[in-house]
Structure 1
Amino acid sequence: MARSSSDSIVHEQAAGWLMRLQAAPNDVATFEAFEDWRDAAPEHREAFDAVQDSWALFGEQAAAPELLVLRRNALDRAGWTGRRRGFDLSRRRGLAAGLAALVLAPLTFYGWRRLRPDADQTLRTAIGEQRTVTLSDGSRVSLDANTLVKVAYSPALRLAEVVEGRAHFEVAKDRARPMKVRAGRRTVTALGTAFTVEHEGERVVVTLVEGRVAVTETASPRGVAPPPKELAPQQQLVFAADAAPRMHEAVDVERAMAWREGKLVFDDETLADAVARVNNYSRVKIVVEDAPARALKVSGIFNAGDTPAFVEAVQSYFPVDVSTDDSTVQIRSRS
C-alpha cells in the first residue's frame, strides 16, 4: 500500500534521525533533539521503529562496499560530510530521498537474511530479591531488591530506564552505540564503564565506579535544561526534590556498593529516604507519620531485610514513638 505524502515525510525524517544518531553517537544535544522529535507524536515513534527494522536487515553486511557507496552518495546529496554534524531536512529533500532509498529498499536483491534488532527487555526484582542479568551486548546489570529496569536496544543506541529501585551497570564497550540510562528527568551516558543508578521517588543518585559518564537533565516546566555534568571515578551525584544537585567527591565505593553484599549503608540521609530503601527488603512496611520525623538524619550500616534492628536503632537514637501491627511499623515524632 502506498504511503500518504505526510507518512512519507515522517519516514524520511526518521531515516534522517537514524543517520544523525549513527554519525554522532556521543552527541548529547543530538540525542536530546531526537527524543523531542520522537516523543512529539506516536507516528514519529512508529516511523523510527520501522526504519530501525529496515536498517537491521543489513545486519553484518552494513559495511559492504555497495552499501557504503549508497550511504556516501546519500550524504553527499545532502551536503553533509563528516565535518558537518547538522542538517536542515526541510531544505534538503535529496537527503530524505537518498536515505529512504538506502534504508527502505528491498533487500531480497542481495539475498541477505533478516536480522532483528536486540529485543526489548523488562527486568524486575521482587521485595528482598537481587539478581544480575547479562544483556545481549555483553553488558551486565545487577538489580537491587524491588527494582524495575526497562531495556531497549537498537542498531544506533543502547537505552535503559531505571523506573524505580537501584541498578548497577557494567557496560560493554561499543563506541558506535553508547549506553544511555534514564532515571526520571536524568540521563546517564556511558561507553565502557561501571556505575550505579538509584531512583526512589524524586531522588536520583548516580555513583561512578570506573570510566567516565555524563549526566544530563531534561528541562523542568519552569526553566531550561542545565549543562551536562561529567563524573570521574568515585564521584557521586545526588538529585533530590526541590534542591540543587550535590556532587560528592571521593566516595567510598565499597560502602556505596555494599547493597550487593546484603548491607544497607546510610550516611546522613533523611529517615524518609532510608525507610524507602529498608522497605524494599521486607513485606512489613515502615511508615513515617510526620514531617519532623521524616527529616531526621540517619547514619549507619544495617543488614538488608532486618527491619526490627533498623526500627530499634531509630527508636534508641531519636525522640520518636513506634507502634506496630501485622503489616506495618508506624514511626512518629514524640509529642
Structure 2
Amino acid sequence: MKRLNSPDAIESATVPEQAAHWWIVLHEESCTREDREAFAAWVRRSPERVEAYLRVTMMMGTLQSKHRKWPDTPPDELIRAARASSAEIIPLGRSQPMARAPGPSASVGARRFTYASVAAICCVLVVAWLLWTPQRFQTEIGEQRSVLLGDGSLITLNTASEIEVKLTDGRRLIRLVRGEALFEVAHDSQRPFDVDTGKAVVRAVGTRFNIDRRADRTTVSVVQGKVQVMTEQPGKPQPSGHEAVAVDAPATEFLVEAQRLVVTEAGMSEPEHIADIAPVTAWTQRQLVFENRSLAEVAEEFNRYNRQHILIESPRLRTQSVTGVFQANDSASFLAFIANIPGVRVTTSAAGHHVVSLPEGGEGPKVLR
C-alpha cells in the first residue's frame, strides 16, 4: 500500500488503490478533520468505494483493534441518514449482473432500493466511525512531544503519557489516558475544551494548565487563566423509605492562576495556592524541582523518566526530605548525591535497578540539599 502524492494521482488510481491511500491518510498522526471530510466526500460517491475501503480496513485489522470504537449513533438515525444519502445505486461487489426473473416491475424496484439502502447505510457507518474515532498521541519513557491541534491549541506530553483527541463542531474533548500534559488552549467560547482524566473533567475556554494523572491521584494546576473541575463526589446518606442510601452528588471547583487541587477516589481537595508556579512546568525543560519532598517521591519521579529505577529500601530514608533541582534524564547525578549521605549504600541489582539502602544504625540527615 502507498500514499498517493497528488490529486491527479488519486484520480487516475483504481478504486482499491484509492482506498489504500485513504487508509494510510486516516491513520497518520498528522491526519486533520479536513482530511476526514475529504475522505467522506470520496467514499460517498459510490458503494464500490465503501466496499473497497472496508476490505482494506479488515485486511489491516483495524476493525478488530481494541482501541477502535463504533459511534453511539442510534440505528434509526443512521437509517434515516442513509435513505437521505445521495449515494449512487450500484450493487456492492463486482459479480456479474443477475438474470432478471419474470415478475412485476415492483420486484426490480425493491431489489434496487435494497441495494441502495444497504450501500448507503454502510457508507454512513464508515464515515461516522471515522469522523468519531479519536486521534491518539503518546510518548515513551523519557520522551516528550508537542501536539498542535486543528483549533490552534497546543498540548505538550510528558514522559510515558497518552491522550485521545476528538474535535467536533460543538466540543473539543481530550482524554488523558495516562501520564502528564501541559495544555495551552486556544480561545473559542462556542466550543468548550474538556479534558477527561477518568476521575474528573477539566473545562477551559482559553487558558494554560497542567494535569498530572497518577494511579492514585490526579493533580490539576493552573498556570494562566481559569478552569472548571467537575467530578462525582461521594454523597451523604439520604433517607429512602426505611433505609439510608448514599447518593453521588456532582461537585465543581473553579481554579484560577497559581492554584491547584488533587482528585482522588475520595473526591476533590480544596484549591491550594501555588507560591512558585515555575516548578509546575519545569518538566518541559526536563528539570525536576523539589521543595521538601520525601526521598520516596523524588525516586518515583525519576523512575518516570528512566528505565533503570531507583529503589529506596530503607523506610527511614524514604521519608527524609529533599530540596533541589535535577535533570530528569540524569539519574546518575542524583544517585551520586544520595551516595554522599553518611551510611547510605547504593548497589545495582541484576535487573539493572539502583538499590538504595541505609544499614541499621545509620541516621542520615533530616533534610537533603
Provide TM-score, normalisation by structure 2: 0.56
Are the counterparts in 2 of residues 117 and 153 from structure 1 also a CA contact under 8 Å?
no
Q: Is residue 323 of structure 1 aligned with residue 347 of structure 2? A: yes
Give, in angstroms, the shift of residue 296 of structure 1. Answer: 3.5
Aligned partners of 2:82 and 2:294: how far apart in 1?
Answer: 54
Match of 2:228 in 1: 214
Higher relative contact order (CA 8 A, sep 6+): 1
Tell me the residue number matched to 1:106.
84
Report the Cα distance in structure 1 between the residues aligned to 2:342 and 2:256, rounded to whole angstroms.
Answer: 36
Q: Deviations over 1:198-254 (max 9, x none)?
A: 112212111111121011223459873462111111112234677972533144222
Aligned-partner Cα distance in 1 for 2:269–2:259: 13
Please state if 1:179 is matched with 2:193: yes
The answer to whether 1:190 aligns with 2:168 is no
Q: Which residue number corresponds to residue 167 of structure 1?
A: 181
Looking at structure 1, the residues matched to 221 and 359 of structure 2 have their Cα atoms a distance apart, in angstroms, of 36
* Structure 2 letter corresponding to 1:308: A
Residues 131 and 144, structure 1, Cα contact 8 Å, conserved in 2 = yes
Match of 1:87 in 2: none
Amino acid at match of 2:142: G
Change (3 A) 1:324 1:233: same
Equivalent residue number for residue 301 of structure 1: 325
Instruction: Evaluate the alpha carbon distance shift between residue 125 and residue 283 of structure 1 in structure 2; reply closer, same or farther with a 3 A threshold.
Output: same
Which residue does the alignment assign to 1:271? Answer: 295
* 1:332–1:245 Cα change, 3 Å: farther
Correspondence list, 1:237-252, <5 A: 237-239=261-263, 245=269, 247-252=271-276
Q: Distance in 2 between matches of 1:238 and 1:312?
A: 32
Partner SS for 2:228 = strand
Which range moves more in the overlay, 257-266 or 320-329? Answer: 320-329
Q: Give me the whole-angstrom Cα distance separating, in 2, the residues matched to 1:131 and 1:167.
A: 10
Within a 5 Å distance, the mapping from 1:35-114 to structure 2 comes to 48-49=72-73, 106=84, 108=86
Aligned match of 2:159: 145
**Cα distance in 2 for residues equivalent to 1:297 and 1:50:** 56
SS in 1 for 2:335: helix
- Report the secondary structure of 1:216's partner residue: strand
1:256 alignment partner in structure 2 = 280
In structure 2, relative to structure 1, the CA distance for the partners of 1:223 and 1:327 (3 Å cut) is farther
Inter-CA distance 219–238: structure 2 relative to 1 (3 Å threshold): closer
Superposed displacement of residue 150, structure 1: 2.0
Q: Distance in 2 between the 1:158 and 1:271 partners? A: 39
CA distance in 2, matches of 1:204, 1:211: 20
Query: Does structure 1 residue 231 correspond to structure 2 residue 255?
Result: yes
Specify whether residues 250 and 280 from structure 1 end up closer, same or farther in structure 2 by C-alpha distance, changes over 3 A only: closer
Call closer, same or farther: CA 1:141–1:261 in 2, change over 3 Å.
Answer: same
- Rounded to whole Å, the distance in 2 between the matches of 1:150 and 1:293 is 39
1:203 paired to 2:222: no
- CA shift at 1:282, angstroms? 1.6
Q: Which residue of 2 aligns with 1:129?
A: 143
| One-letter code aligned to 2:256 | A
Deviation per CA, 1:260-298, whole angstroms, max 9, x where unpaired?
112111223333332222112222111233655444433
Pair 1:46–1:283, CA change in 2 (3 A): closer
Q: Which runs of 5+ in 2 are unaligned?
A: 1-68, 88-123, 236-245, 361-369
Q: Which residue of 2 aligns with 1:60?
A: none
**Equivalent-residue separation in structure 2 for 1:189 and 1:231 (angstroms):** 10
Is 2:295 aligned against 1:281? no
Please say which structure displays the higher CA radius of gyration. 2
SS at match of 2:337: helix
State TM-score, norm by structure 1.
0.61
Q: Secondary structure at the match of 1:228?
A: strand
Bigger mean CA deviation after superposition, 213-222 or 184-193: 213-222
Distance in 1 between the 2:275 and 2:82 partners?
A: 49
The residue correspondences of 1:7-26 to structure 2 (distance < 5 A) are: none
Aligned equivalents of 2:250, 2:317: Cα separation in 1: 33
Distance 2:233 2:267 in 1: 15
Post-superposition shift, 1:141? 0.6
Q: Which residue of 2 aligns with 1:57?
A: none
- 2: distance between equivalents of 1:294 and 1:153? 44
Secondary structure of the residue aligned to 1:218 is strand
Q: What SS class does the counterpart of residue 271 from structure 2 fall into?
A: strand
For 2:255 and 2:208, the matched residues in 1 are separated by 12
Secondary structure in structure 2 of the residue aligned to 1:301 = strand
Q: Residue 172 of structure 2 contacts residue 192 of structure 2 at CA under 8 Å; is this kept in 1?
A: yes
Identity %: 28
* 2:199–2:263 Cα contact (<8 Å) kept: no
1:257 alignment partner, SS class: helix
How many residue pairs align between the two structures? Answer: 241
User: Which AA in structure 1 matches 2:215?
Assistant: G
